[in-house]
Structure 1
Amino acid sequence: MSLRTSFCLLALPLLTGCQYLPHTNYFTAPANEPNPAWVRIVNYTQHAAIYQYEDGVRSGGVVRTGPLPFINTQDVGMPKAGQNLTFDYFETRVRPDIKTEVSMMWEGPRTRYCYISIIFTPKAGRYYQFKLNEGPGDSCTSDASLIERGKDGISWHLTPNPDVTYKHNGPTAKKRFNNARFEDPNFHPDPELYPGTAL
């Protein structure tokens, strides 16, 4: 076999392997939407995502700003509805009148996680809030709310949003383990392989 053929055979996996590397899609707010709807996600924004579906094509992705899962707090001036929001929430515009999915995930110790995905169709000019609550037991819960102006015309309040569906289990999800070995409370992993999970 020639040197050139050997080089090509060695280089082939390197050149084609890029398609197998992890790829992250990011949500980008619509830039020129004349009358958008507004979405706020509260808690665990490092794992939250927004997708919109039009003509069978899905666009969007995670709301964080880079490949590392850091919390992304973004305030665009949505009404706070009496809430003391100072950290770990994400506000954005979305395109109205198309199927929209808000996915939220809690990730805890020993590879535990729970995942809730909410489907709705936002209406132009409306405000929507989605909140994930980790909960003390074996479940996470979510709240899907409308942010509505009070009768006084000044104050804002949250009301349950009846026009949502859930992609999987409803507004409550069971906490699961990414790695089944952690289900055994006596399993003590190598701290070099699983930093922070040995407790």
Structure 2
Amino acid sequence: MRSDLPLARAGQTIGLFGGSFDPAHPGHLHVSREALKRFGLDRVWWLVSPGNPLKPKGPAPLAQRLAVARALVDHPRIIVTDIEARIGTRYTAQTIAALQALYPGVRFVWLMGADNLAQFHRWQDWQAIMGRVAVGVLARPGSRIAARTAKAASIYRHAKLPAEAAHLLAHTPPPAWCFVNLPMIDASSTAIRARGEW
């Protein structure tokens, strides 16, 4: 294993929380802590992306976003990484395939906010993502209804675990997904940037 990549061993369950983190904020941390508990994960990795292909404007420099995220994270099982930049992937499907090759025996779960589920069908190779890993969907303010009626939710309704079975998600063969409602922290990177705080 390359020394510049996070450590993981076969049998571990790791949630992958991808995004631009432009900037990271307490809402990201709250969702990650809840994902550890609800889905019974050993770790959550924040995949701080070089850039989001669905966003027209590029984010702040990667080194700056990593530094802010690492300063914010105060949990020993939440790891901030720029692994996508290190392994040269740009799209989630590519990243997941590469991680599964690099970490045989590790069970990965893709984590996303309910707002992302609403537009998940626009992601490149989104059905390949559903076929490779279980997906944990965490409700965020104002996005619950749109997520529940999302195209991906409809197509994969047969693969949905009930919220009370969330702890089984990492051990359920894909396609599998679970939607959980969380106590809300209404924080967003977009709002932080709009206020001129970033």
Task: Bin the TM-score by the shorter chain.
Answer: under 0.3
Structure with the bigger RCO (C-alpha within 8 Å, sep 6+) is 2
Q: Which of 1 and 2 has greater Rg?
A: 1
**Quick check: which one's strand share is greater?**
1
Give the TM-score normalised by structure 1: 0.27
Give the TM-score normalised by structure 2: 0.27
